[in-house]
Structure 1
Amino acid sequence: MIKAAIFDLDGTLLNRDESVKMFINNQYDRLHKFVGHIPKETFTTRFIELDNRGYVWKDKVYQQLVDEFVISGITREELLQDYIHEFQNNCVPFANLIEMLEELKRRNLKLGIITNGKGQFQMDNIKALGVETYFEAILVSEWEGIKKPDSQIFIRALNQLSVSANESIFVGDHPVNDVQAAKIAGMIGIWKKDVHWSAVEADFIIDDLAEVPLIIDKVSVE
């Protein structure tokens, strides 16, 4: 009997790739007087490359951009602060996010999020998606002092929800930090397909968040 569903954020609930594209295009337009000497496509493409799907914090990204493109009139720190304050205005959810959460709530499942990243930044993004109130436990690695794939952050979330690992599913896009780590913690590991990975070992694989309730149905009758 599944009693809880816990989710990763970036690449699972938040379409981070699309959000980043939207943000960096908007940042270029807003700060054109400082970066207009760089072709827009060059600037945005290089940001996405350096960002490395979020695994490089933006202080290093902007330092590299400032150095490479000889950006003047605005500092690396000012560019970083713009990112921190403005990214939340560019958050793109994956399809069927709200509908899926509504269905799980209708079934009285307990819901949680475990995400690596900066505390307030990630919370701002969760609020921007309009989903904060669906979750009874939200764990962000900076605030927790531990991060995925450490099993302790999964156990901490389970404890907050008062459920056991074998009563819970975890949905994420990263094969190691999400799926493998959740399985090690004793949870059912569900991989949300991501074009950057292949041949991922998971208990279930989904293309769309709408499939999550269907998997819960399947597990419940096994």
Structure 2
Amino acid sequence: MSLPPEIPLLTGRPTTILFDLDDTLFDHTATARLALQSTATPLPFFRKVDFEPFYQRYSELLEEYHAQILAGRCSYEEARRGRFQRLLAQYWAAATEAEIEEFIRVNQANYPLLRRPVAGARALLQALKPHYRIGVVTNNRTEEQVEKLQFLEMTALVDALITSEEVGVPKPDPRIFHVALERLGARPEETVLVGDNWTADVLGARAVGIRPLWLNRFGAARPLAQVQEIAGFEPLADVLRKIQIPTA
């Protein structure tokens, strides 16, 4: 991912746009829901299970174990096994170790088959690319995120990928944002970060002087009124306007 030689400075507007990846450009939530539902539906235990609480519990465990991974307390494989063991212990108590392992294997196979971008994400990057530096700042493994951008056909639209694995700290640690700014040759005051996670993205960006634009796809309450938000990337013109002009 090479940086274009020159980006014209737009008076009163940003020169650099940073994006989160998971649940910002890549629709992890939709993919995870579909994969979990496809994995569980054929199994007898699932006939008596309400999917929404089942998925909600899965999401809670995913966040819990992801935090442990970022803190170095467990590996990705240990986290995956732990969250599925705890999930199925609650809903399928009679499951054997072999059945749990098979559930994990099938879910892993289903997930990549059902991946998709957040609606409008690629069109937004295409519109921004000729005029701005574009970076992705993500709390995940580099290899996985490189492959994800390739699958989403976004690699050529991104000038720099910065991962927590590479930097050694996750968002909202200021160091990962400073690495992104340095790599893109940008100043905080001319940079916008678009992300879905309030703590990692919004508060992390604000702490280093980057203007955040909160992607609030699920209608959560906005803790700070002065932070701009969008519900999605469509219509494109509305999103571009919020990125370019910092209004309340």
Normalised TM-score (structure 2): 0.74
Q: Hey, what does 1:157 align to over in structure 2?
A: 180
Structure 1: runs of 5 or more not aligned: none
Quick one: distance in 1 between partners of 2:219 and 2:82? 23
* Change in CA separation of 1:92 and 1:67 when aligned onto 2, cut-off 3 Å: same
Q: Deviations over 1:30-72 (max 9, x none)?
A: xx4xx43432744674244132284134332211134341223
Q: Hey, what does 1:39 align to over in structure 2?
A: 47
User: How far is 1:132 from its partner?
Assistant: 2.3
> Is the aligned partner of 1:24 residue 2:47?
no
Amino acid at match of 2:60: N
Q: Hey, what does 1:55 align to over in structure 2?
A: 63
Quick one: distance in 2 between partners of 1:212 and 1:205? 10
Amino acid at match of 1:8: D
User: How far is 1:134 from its partner?
Assistant: 1.2
Amino acid at match of 1:132: T
Are 1:5 and 1:168, in contact at CA under 8 Å, matched by a contact in 2? Answer: yes
* Change in CA separation of 1:41 and 1:113 when aligned onto 2, cut-off 3 Å: farther
* Change in CA separation of 1:166 and 1:217 when aligned onto 2, cut-off 3 Å: same
Deviates more, 1:98-107 or 1:84-93: 84-93
Q: Hey, what does 2:68 align to over in structure 1?
A: none
* Change in CA separation of 1:124 and 1:84 when aligned onto 2, cut-off 3 Å: farther
* Change in CA separation of 1:41 and 1:90 when aligned onto 2, cut-off 3 Å: farther
* Change in CA separation of 1:171 and 1:91 when aligned onto 2, cut-off 3 Å: same
User: How far is 1:179 from its partner?
Assistant: 0.7
User: How far is 1:198 from its partner?
Assistant: 0.8
Instruction: Say what the alpha-carbon RMSD is for the aligned residues.
Output: 2.7
Q: Deviations over 1:108-165 (max 9, x none)?
A: x111111113443343333332212211211222333110110110111111111111
The count of aligned residue pairs is 215
Are 1:146 and 1:153, in contact at CA under 8 Å, matched by a contact in 2? Answer: yes
User: How far is 1:73 from its partner?
Assistant: 6.5
SS of residue paired to 1:38: helix
Normalised TM-score (structure 1): 0.82
Amino acid at match of 1:56: E
> Is the aligned partner of 1:94 residue 2:98?
no
* Change in CA separation of 1:40 and 1:102 when aligned onto 2, cut-off 3 Å: farther
Quick one: distance in 1 between partners of 2:98 and 2:167? 33
Q: Hey, what does 1:71 align to over in structure 2?
A: 95
Are 1:3 and 1:163, in contact at CA under 8 Å, matched by a contact in 2? Answer: yes
Are 2:25 and 2:118, in contact at CA under 8 Å, matched by a contact in 1? Answer: yes
The percentage of counterpart residues that share the same residue type is 21
Quick one: distance in 2 between partners of 1:51 and 1:130? 27
Q: Hey, what does 2:232 align to over in structure 1?
A: 208
Structure 2: runs of 5 or more not aligned: 1-12, 66-79
